[in-house]
């Protein structure tokens, strides 16, 4: 064994302690760390020829790189839909690496059954029935891709084509209908050989809504004259957190032939709160469902879950057995369910957080985030320099400059807010108007944080 490696082996516990101490200092300072890195990253260092050992690696990381890492896990980083990492989930994440299990198959370990237990808990948390099975993937983009891949295989079943063998081209043109799809949907369509141009945008409800007009969707389906299609319903849009009427869309399945995929990346968490659960009524009727976990469950990157009612088709797409051995029977190993073969025990941080805080603890995060978003929305509404672009429906505040909201002025405002180190919001375009989004999804965010965000926005927009 190389001497530095042997040295680290002999003092592995001390190295972990050093990492723990460093992490503890960083986490303690997280709420006051600037939200965004200032200045350029350091120049690239040459590949180390002689290793310096684990302690030196921590020291070098602390000196060269950590100072430029963002405070995105902190309470006032409201860009995108980011979330943080609960204490127990960080502990679970560390242990994932310490145990370093490969979840491709059972491999002499109980780890795959822990993932199955976690998936079953999540299924219950989001109000799905036992007909849905699931697996962990890296994020909502991967989850949407897997859901649409199963949908593509289903189209083959309807048309008498074996897509996993014949290829997507054998289907001919595929129709994917959606009202306000996330950008990851056309990306998935590109990956799957369906093609980005096959996305048909269905008109939205009138009156400042991002939810699909179900009557317009029905008209589009009728125009297909019986040709099967894929419908992507959206439960929680990124600008205004609007929800498609999932029940009404699912009811169309009686008359039209389509695969229903629901992108509930963060909107799925409405199911945790009795007050908001009606927003995702009908989710269980979906053929496939995407929910992100590194957003509102507040587990570390990268984690999401995908659910489907048609695991048989999922196995057709993703199975990794030799074709002449046939498809796996019984409970399939995870390598037959998702794009990866070898995969980490991504479920463990989520398992830890659910054990540590339960449904009630996670419900409280969602309820508090929504209350704070409404509070910021009311505050912004009262500022002379800003105006809301939409009512605050759940956890995102979408707003713009009261006057002359050009893209340049909005970008400058976003930069000024980030430059203060106090808060982070991201530019968007909503209804053709450039604006900003403040998305609440972090477990740490408090009323005091929200006041600080409002203060920075008031100063930067006056
Ligand atoms: C964030 C998001 C995605 C993509 O999620 P990643 O985890 O970044 O891949 C997809 N859909 C919606 C609605 C989202 O909010």
Q: What is the set of domains in the chain, with CATH numbers?
A: 29-86+358-462 (3.90.1150.170), 102-344 (3.40.640.10)
140-159 helix and 184-191 helix, angle to the nearest 10 degrees: 50
Residue nearest to atom 10 of ligand 1 (CA): 140
Rounded-to-integer distance, Cα 37 and Cα 384, Å: 30
Say if ligand 1 is within 6 A of residue 301 CB.
no
The CA 264 to ligand 1 mean position distance, Å, reads 9
174 HSE (CA, 13 A, CB side):
31
Say if ligand 1 is within 6 A of residue 81 CB.
yes
Ligand 1 pocket mutation, candidates 137, 140, 280, criterion most atoms within 8 A of CB: 140
> How does pLDDT run across 353-396, given as a tens digit for each residue?
999 999 999 999 999 999 999 999 999 999 999 999 999 999 99
The string over 151-166, giving b where at least 16 C-beta atoms fall within 10 Å of a residue's C-beta and e elsewhere, is bbbbbbbeeebebbee
Are 195 and 209 a contacting pair, CB within 8 Å? no
- Residue 256: phi and psi, rounded to 5, are -130, 155
Closest ligand 1 atom number to CA of residue 264: 13
Say if ligand 1 is within 6 A of residue 141 CB.
yes
- And the tokens for 291? 């929910």
What is the 3 state secondary structure string of 48-63?
CCCCCCHHHHHHHHHH
Closest ligand 1 atom number to CA of residue 238: 15
> What is the side-by-side order of every strand in the sheet holding 176-178?
133-137, 304-308, 288-292, 258-263, 229-234, 176-178, 199-201
Q: Note the pTM of the prediction, 2 decimals.
A: 0.97
Amino acid 17: pLDDT: 98
Amino acid 326: pLDDT: 60
> How does pLDDT run across 104-128, given as a tens digit for each residue?
887 889 999 999 999 999 999 999 9
Closest ligand 1 atom number to CA of residue 266: 15
Residue nearest to atom 5 of ligand 1 (CA): 140
Amino acid 321: pLDDT: 76
The CA 292 to ligand 1 mean position distance, Å, reads 7
Residue nearest to atom 3 of ligand 1 (CA): 140
> How does pLDDT run across 312-342, given as a tens digit for each residue?
999 999 999 765 556 667 789 999 999 999 9
Residues of the chain falling short of pLDDT 70 = 322-328
Q: DSSP string spanning 432-451? A: TEEEEEEE---TT--HHHHH
């Amino acid at each position: 064994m190389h001497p530095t490696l042997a040295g680290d082996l002999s003092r592995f516990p001390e190295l972990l302690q050093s990492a723990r101490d460093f992490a503890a200092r960083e986490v303690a300072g997280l709420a006051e760390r600037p939200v965004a890195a200032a200045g350029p990253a350091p120049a690239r260092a040459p590949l180390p020829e002689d290793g310096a050992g684990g302690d030196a690696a921590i020291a070098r990381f602390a000196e060269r790189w950590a100072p430029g890492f963002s405070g995105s896990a902190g309470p006032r980083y409201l860009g995108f839909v980011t979330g943080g990492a609960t204490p127990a989930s960080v502990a679970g994440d560390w242990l994932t690496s310490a145990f370093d299990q490969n979840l491709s198959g059972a491999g002499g370990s109980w780890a795959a059954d822990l993932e199955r237990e976690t998936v079953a808990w999540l299924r219950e948390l989001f109000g799905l029935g036992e007909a849905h099975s699931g697996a962990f993937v890296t994020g909502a983009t991967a989850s949407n891709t897997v859901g649409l891949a199963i949908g593509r295989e289903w189209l083959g079943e309807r048309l008498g084509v074996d897509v996993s063998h014949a290829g997507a081209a054998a289907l001919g043109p595929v129709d994917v209908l959606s009202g306000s799809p996330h950008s990851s949907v056309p990306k998935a369509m590109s990956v799957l050989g369906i093609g980005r141009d096959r996305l048909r945008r269905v008109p939205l409800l009138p009156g400042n809504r991002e939810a699909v007009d179900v009557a317009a969707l029905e008209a589009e389906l009728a125009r297909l004259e019986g040709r099967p299609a894929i419908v992507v319903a959206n439960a929680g849009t990124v600008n205004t957190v609007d929800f498609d009427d999932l029940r009404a869309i699912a009811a169309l399945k009686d008359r039209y032939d389509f695969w229903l995929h629901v992108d509930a990346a963060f909107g799925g968490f409405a199911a945790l709160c009795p007050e908001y659960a009606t927003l995702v009524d009908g989710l269980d009727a979906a053929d496939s469902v995407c929910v992100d976990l590194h957003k509102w469950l507040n587990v570390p990157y990268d984690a999401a879950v995908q659910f489907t009612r048609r695991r048989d088709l999922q196995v057709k797409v993703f199975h990794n057995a030799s074709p002449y051995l046939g498809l796996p029977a019984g409970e399939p190993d995870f390598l037959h369910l998702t794009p990866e073969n070898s995969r980490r025990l991504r479920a463990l941080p989520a398992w830890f957080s659910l054990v540590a805080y339960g449904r009630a603890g996670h419900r409280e995060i969602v309820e508090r985030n929504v209350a704070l978003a409404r509070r910021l929305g009311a505050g912004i509404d009262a500022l002379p320099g800003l105006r809301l672009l939409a009512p605050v429906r759940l956890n995102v505040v979408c707003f713009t400059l009261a006057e002359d909201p050009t893209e340049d002025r909005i970008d400058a405002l976003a930069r000024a807010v980030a430059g203060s180190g106090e808060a982070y919001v991201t530019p968007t375009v909503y209804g053709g108007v450039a604006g900003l989004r403040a998305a609440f999804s972090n477990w740490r965010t408090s009323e005091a944080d929200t006041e600080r965000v409002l203060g920075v926005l008031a100063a930067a927009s006056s």
